[in-house]
Structure 1
């Protein structure tokens, strides 16, 4: 059986990565060989956002030392990891979707050179509104986040796919699923 592909989803906080991944997971619902990896994060479970496996920092570092992460990085005072189970999943022919990090992309590309990168792009106005609606940050924090996002260099990768997510979840979600199945 041919190996599956790794889809590394990136984009600014508030771009809709979690919403798109949740939508796609619900739509494929086991009918297609697409699996969505949970991230292991040193962030409380009730912090909002994605469904993740919550670990203490010592638990995370122990798992990393034991080699239990296929990918791991640190961002925003938290540790993030993707478990080594994804390599087994891909060996069965399943496509695997992970919520990645733009800053970690060069390292992830070395580990998985054939992976597909899906950059979720959103206009600044839509991003600002989504961050405001989310209600986790002050106006000043939102402005700082948008400023930081605009300073991040453009992503260049031979397997880069770009999905503009200014449209409705149904419309963008359908395009996202098409990317995962083509």
Structure 2
């Protein structure tokens, strides 16, 4: 069996990455072809981000020792993926993860096949979603969106989803893409 793809779901805060990942998990999670990896984050759990909490000391120790499959810092927080995903990929299972765009070069250097799915939304939609979280002031949100617009990332996305329509529609696009990817992988391993 061939290696699975590391599927990086990337995009700005407020784009709805976790919402679309949850939609895909509900549709595809029981099939066994995908693992929806949970990030470890040095922030307490909340309703807007699906993750496991890790304390700062454990993150630093794991980051320094290379104990994680990937680890990075963003927005003053530590993020990590468990080392077990390396074995999962080797078994042929596709691993799906909400990933920081800045970490894509590291992911591409660590995993054999990286598929990038960019989730985005118009600035006014991002602003409304960020405001709804209640973690930042309106001025901080506007500053974040201005910084976001100025950033340049080398994404080379395999799929771009503008998430400004109902989840059934945008999530359906994601599910269809992932299902096709899994079918493609099965076809490749079945070829003589």
- Per the TM superposition, whether the score is higher than 0.5 is yes
The runs of at least 4 consecutive aligned structure 1 residues that moved more than 3 Å come to: none
Partner of 2:102, secondary structure, is: coil
Aligned residues: 180
1:16 corresponds to 2:6: no
What residue number does 1:91 align with? 90
Q: How does 1:119-134 map to 2 (within 5 A)?
A: 119-134=118-133
Query: Aligned partners of 2:31 and 2:112: how far apart in 1?
Result: 27
Give me the TM-score of the superposition, normalised by structure 2: 0.86
Query: Aligned partners of 1:85 and 1:146: how far apart in 2?
Result: 35
Query: How many Å apart are 1:126 and its aligned residue?
Result: 1.3
1:2 corresponds to 2:2: yes
Query: How many Å apart are 1:51 and its aligned residue?
Result: 2.5
Which structure 1 residue ranges, 5 or more long, are not aligned? none
Report if the CA contact (8 A) 2:116-2:155 is conserved: no
Give me the TM-score of the superposition, normalised by structure 1: 0.91
Query: Aligned partners of 1:94 and 1:50: how far apart in 2?
Result: 24
Partner of 2:145, secondary structure, is: helix
Which structure 2 residue ranges, 5 or more long, are not aligned? 181-192
Q: Which has the higher helix share?
A: 2
Query: Aligned partners of 1:58 and 1:120: how far apart in 2?
Result: 32
Partner of 1:140, secondary structure, is: helix
Report if the CA contact (8 A) 1:95-1:180 is conserved: no
